[in-house]
């Protein structure tokens, strides 16, 4: 049972790391968009990374949610 607790704890920590990175990317994208000249390629890459993080966050959240009875 200790292993399960550690797994959940590790997932929760990873989730917080991903959320923080997602927020940081949001700030960076906003700042880059407001500062001319805009680097479109960099902004696109950051947005793609942000979307990937969003998907990972959703996956981990589903893994951490308890099973609902049918």
| pLDDT-derived band at 3, boundaries 50, 70, 90 | low
Domain ranges of the chain: 2-64
The pLDDT tens digits for 9-64 are 999 999 999 999 999 999 999 999 888 777 889 999 999 999 999 999 999 999 98
* pLDDT at residue 47, as a whole number: 96
* pLDDT at residue 70, as a whole number: 59
Under 8 Å CB-to-CB from 18, ≥6 apart: which residues?
Answer: 53, 56, 57, 60
User: Which of 17, 19, 14 has its CA nearest to residue 50?
Assistant: 19
pTM to 2 decimals? 0.79
């Amino acid at each position: 049972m200790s292993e399960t607790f550690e797994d959940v704890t590790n997932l929760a920590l990873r989730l917080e790391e991903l959320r923080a990175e997602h927020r940081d990317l949001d700030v960076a994208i906003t700042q880059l968009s407001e500062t001319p000249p805009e680097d479109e390629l960099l902004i696109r890459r950051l947005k793609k990374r942000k979307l990937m993080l969003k998907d990972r966050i959703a996956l981990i959240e589903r893994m951490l949610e308890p099973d609902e009875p049918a």
